[in-house]
Structure 1
Amino acid sequence: MNTIKLFIAVFLLSFGSLAQAQNSITFKITDEETGEPLIGATVYASATMGAIADNNGLATINNIEEESITVKISFVGYEAIKSTYSIPYQGKMPIEIKMEHHHEEVEEMVVTATRTSRSIEDIPTRIEFLGAEELQEKAVMRSANIAMLLRESTGIQMQVTSPSSANQSIRIQGLDGRYTQLMKDGFPLYGGFSGGLSIMQIPPLDLRQVEVIKGSNSTLYGGGAIAGLVNLVSIRPEEEALTKVMVDQTSAGGTTLNAFYASAENRWSYTLFGSGHRQTAYDANDDNFSDLPETRSITLNPTIFFKPSKTDEFRLALNGTFEDRWGGNLNAVDDREPNAQNYLQENESRRMSYQLSYTKT
Structure 2
Amino acid sequence: MYKIIASFLLISALSFAQEGSIAGRVTENGRPVPAATVIVVPSGITTATDEDGEFIIKQLQAGVYEIIVTSVGLQTNRQKITVVAGKMANLNFKMQEEGTELEEVVVTGTMKEMTRSESPIPVEIITPKLFKKNPTATLFEAMGMINGVQPQLNCSVCNTGDIHINGMEGPYTMILIDGMPIVSALSTVYGLNGIPNSIVERIEVVKGPGSSLYGSEAMGGIINVITKNPLKAPVFSADFFMTSWGELNFDTAMKFTAGKATGLFGVNYFNYSSRIDNNNDNFTDVTLQDRVSVFNKWNFDRKDGRIASIAGRYVYEDRWGGEMNWTPAFRGSDSIYGESIYTRRAELIGLYQLPVSERIFTQFSYNWHDQNSVYGTTPYMANQQVGFIQTYWDKQFGESHNFLLGAALRYTLYDDNTPATADIEGGNNPSKKTLPGIFIQDEWTITEKHKLLAGYRYDHDNDHGSVHSPRLAYKYSPNVNNTFRGSFGTGFRVVNLFTEDHAALTGAREVVIAEALDPERSYNLNLNYVLKIPTDNFIANLDFTGFYSYFTNKIVGDFDSDPNKIIYDNLKGHAVSRGVSLNAEIAFDFPLKIHAGTTYMDVYQMEDRGAGLERQVQLHAPEWSGTFVASYQLPNNYSVDLTGNWYGPMRLPILPHDYRPEYSPWFAIANVQFTKKFAYGLEFYGGMKNIFDFTPKDPLMRPFDPFDKTADDPVSNPNGYTFDTTYNYASLQGRRIFIGVRYNLL
Calculate the TM-score normalised by the size of structure 1: 0.61
Cα displacement (A) at 1:305: 1.5
What CA distance in whole angstroms lies between the structure 1 residues aligned with 2:352 and 2:292?
29
Q: CA deviation at 1:335?
A: 4.7
Q: Out of 175, 184, 196, which is 2:189 matched to? A: 196
Alpha-carbon distance in structure 2 between the residues aligned to 1:250 and 1:229:
32
Aligned residues: 240
1 CA distance for matches of 2:210 and 2:333? Answer: 49
Per the alignment, residue 293 of structure 1 pairs with 287
- The separation in 2 between residues aligned to 1:263 and 1:256, in whole angstroms, is 24
1:310 aligned counterpart, secondary structure: helix
AA in 2 matched with 1:222: G
Alignment of 1:111-260 (within 5 A): 124-138=120-134, 141-142=135-136, 144-190=137-183, 193-217=186-210, 220-238=213-231, 241-260=234-253
1:1-361 pair list within 5 angstroms: 124-138=120-134, 141-142=135-136, 144-190=137-183, 193-217=186-210, 220-238=213-231, 241-264=234-257, 267-280=260-273, 281-333=275-327, 335-337=329-331, 339-359=333-353
Alpha carbons of 1:238 and 1:314: their partners in 2 closer, same or farther (altered >3 Å)?
A: closer
Cα distance change of structure 1 residues 192 and 261 upon mapping to structure 2, 3 Å threshold:
farther
Deviation for aligned residue 1:201: 3.2
Q: Distance in 2 between matches of 1:339 and 1:278?
A: 26
Shift of 1:148: 2.6
- In the alignment, the residues of structure 1 paired with residue 193 and residue 342 of structure 2 have an alpha-carbon distance, to the nearest angstrom, of 13
> Any conservation in 2 of the 1:168–1:200 contact (CA below 8 Å)?
no
Where 2:187 maps in the other structure, the secondary structure is: coil
Return the offset for 1:171.
0.9
Once residues 240 and 167 of structure 1 are traced to their aligned partners in structure 2, the CA distance between those partners, rounded to angstroms, is 32
What are the ranges of 5 or more consecutive residues in structure 2 without an aligned counterpart? 1-111, 360-746
Change (3 A) 1:167 1:242: same
Partner SS state of residue 191, structure 2:
helix
Unmatched segments (≥5 aa) in structure 1? 1-118
List per-residue Cα deviations over 1:110-133 (Å, max 9, x = no partner).
xxxxxxxxx999972110011342
Greater Cα radius of gyration, structure 1 or 2: 1
Q: How far did 1:342 drift?
A: 2.0
**Which whole-Å CA distance do the structure 1 matches of 2:324 and 2:204 have between them?**
39
2:234–2:254: 8 Å Cα contact kept in structure 1?
yes
Q: Quick one: which amino acid aligns to residue 192 of structure 2?
A: I
| CA contact 1:130–1:210 (8 Å) conserved in 2 | yes
Q: 1:279 to 1:136 in 2, by over 3 A?
A: same
Q: CA deviation at 1:173?
A: 1.4
AA of the residue aligned to 2:138: N
1:108 matched residue in structure 2: none
Q: Please give the root-mean-square deviation of Cα atoms over the aligned residues, in Å.
A: 2.6
Q: Note if contact 2:196-2:266 (Cα within 8 Å) is conserved in structure 1.
A: no
Whole-Å separation in 2 of the counterparts to 1:300 and 1:284: 34
Is the CA contact (8 Å cut-off) linking 1:332 and 1:339 kept in structure 2?
no
Tell me the distance in 2 between the aligned counterparts of 1:265 and 1:194: 33
Say if 1:191 and 1:353, in contact at 8 Å, map to a contact too.
no
Q: Could you tell me how far apart the structure 2 residues matched to 1:335 and 1:148 are?
A: 31
TM-score by length of 2: 0.30
Kindly provide the CA deviation profile for residues 41-69 of structure 1, in whole angstroms up to 9, marking residues without a partner as x: xxxxxxxxxxxxxxxxxxxxxxxxxxxxx
Letter aligned with residue 128 of structure 1: E
Counterpart CA distance in 2 for 1:267 and 1:127 is: 34
Measured in 1, the distance between the counterparts of 2:189 and 2:145 equals: 20
**AA aligned opposite 2:321:** G
Q: Aligned letter for 2:300?
A: F
Preserved CA contact (<8 Å) 1:218 1:228: no
Secondary structure, aligned partner of 2:154: strand
Shift of 1:321: 0.5
**CA distance, structure 1, for counterparts of residue 335 and residue 344 of structure 2:** 30
1:341 deviates by: 4.2
Equivalent position SS for 2:131? helix
1:262: how far off?
2.1
Q: Conserved in 2, the CA contact under 8 Å of 1:156 and 1:170? A: yes
- SS in structure 1 opposite 2:351? strand
Task: Give the Cα–Cα distance (whole angstroms) in 2 for the partners of residues 316 and 199 of structure 1.
Answer: 20
Indicate the percent of aligned positions where both proteins have the same amino acid. Answer: 22
Amino acid at match of 1:251: S
Deviations 1:160-212 (A, max 9, x none): 11222211101111212111011111111245643112233334222111100
Q: Kindly tell me: are residues 151 and 219 of structure 1, through their superposed partners in 2, closer, same or farther at Cα, counting changes over 3 Å?
A: farther
Deviates more, 1:206-215 or 1:309-318: 309-318
Given that residues 196 and 252 in structure 2 are in contact (C-alpha distance below 8 angstroms), is that contact kept between their aligned partners in structure 1?
no
1:196-253 per-position Cα deviation (integer Å, ceiling 9, x unaligned): 1223333422211110000124553122110001001111123675211122211112
Residue 283 of structure 1: how far off its partner (Å): 2.4
Structure 1 residue 271, shift from structure 2 partner: 0.3
1:38 maps to which residue?
Answer: none
**Separation of aligned partners in 2, 1:349 and 1:199:** 13
Letter in 2 for 1:172: I
* Structure number with higher helix proportion: 1
Distance 1:336 1:319 in 2: 32
In the TM superposition, what whole-angstrom CA distance separates every residue of 1:11-43 from its partner, at most 9, and x where no partner exists? xxxxxxxxxxxxxxxxxxxxxxxxxxxxxxxxx
1:159–1:171: 8 Å Cα contact kept in structure 2?
yes
- CA–CA separation in structure 1 for the residues paired with 2:350 and 2:196: 22
